[in-house]
Structure 1
Amino acid sequence: MKGLFVTFEGGEGAGKSSILREVGRELRDQGYAVLETREPGGIRIAEEIRKVILNPAHTEMDARTEALLYAAARRQHLIEKVLPALERGEVVLCDRFIDSSLAYQGAARGLGMEEVYDINKFAIDDHMPDLTLLFDIEPEQGLSRIEANEGREQNRLDLEHIAFHKTVRDAYHKLAEAHKQRIKVIDAGKSFEEVRNSVQRVLDRFLTSS
């Protein structure tokens, strides 16, 4: 049986990474073989690219360079880690995928969502997620969570102006509207338990119908 590819998307501080780990544990308890991974990263080469992209010192990075680096990391991660796991029949839970590039580089960086999609279409070779969970949160709330979480990785995107993060959120809403079958919106402004339960309900319906 072919595996299932589930991606977790959302703005900074939405809590998707914490929920992903919780969901992974619950799915394993249900008997599923699960792979948890992230973008950019997940494998050696992509983790090295991640260091370059998210380094707070690299403020001079050109927007197109950023988009190309994300696509390069995505390609290597996909062929080296994600696709083999799907072939083994596993449920792949991935923290960010192509929608992040469309929202962040396409919309917020002003490169154009279609243009960034074309770059990534070459990288992913039509391998799209089966389900995307979009963790929706007001940017102000998400950024305040980051400030309060001393253990969270601080990255270059956290330093952007609030208008940047609002553009990201608007772009995610447009993507969700355009891909209602794939993208399911989760209210990430609620408590951890409420968000986790919402995600579990969506996943249960998805896994039952798959």
Structure 2
Amino acid sequence: MENKVTRAVAIVQPPNSVVNTHHVLYRFRNKPVHNLDDQQASELLTKYHFYCTDQYHFPWANPSGESILHDFQLQHNGAVVSDLNTGLMWQRGGSGIDMDYNRAKRYLRRLNHGNFFGFGRLLNFTDWRLPTLEEALSLMSSDLSESGYIDPIFDKSQDYIFTADEDISNGRVWIVSYRGGFCYPKSPRYFVKVRAVRNI
């Protein structure tokens, strides 16, 4: 049995949102960008009006950003959260431990294919991946709760996560912090967690 949880929050429609009779569907980029620099990140946050605290004075900060409207459904015995407004299925939790970027990729391979005996796959889907920066920021809440800057339907243990977007020219990978309410690029050797996503 599936539990449906709907979050009614302030809605900001991105330029490429599609309105239908049921809900607003946000279409975010799902292919990674390998040279996403600071300026492009700033443009992305402005384009979608995503929240990013200015506490650390990042040039891409957007403290006036807001949450998007979600239509969350808790599915598969609580293992995943589907958002009908974005067409994305997320791990409710994610990796239990911090890992670097290379280990994060191995973690995803295990989710998709399992080990030698087939164990470790998540719900028999084979298309789990790291979210793009805009997909990860779509979960960012502009309101701080016990779970941080993310809806409490998610496990708060995954407070810092890798994205698929890189800034190769500077040897960095984009990370989103739901604990602090910001995003920033770091070395791929940095240790954070993974919250995998797939398209519904």
Q: Same fold (TM over 0.5)?
A: no
TM-score by length of 2: 0.30
TM-score by length of 1: 0.29
Q: Which has the higher strand share?
A: 2
Q: Which has the higher helix share?
A: 1
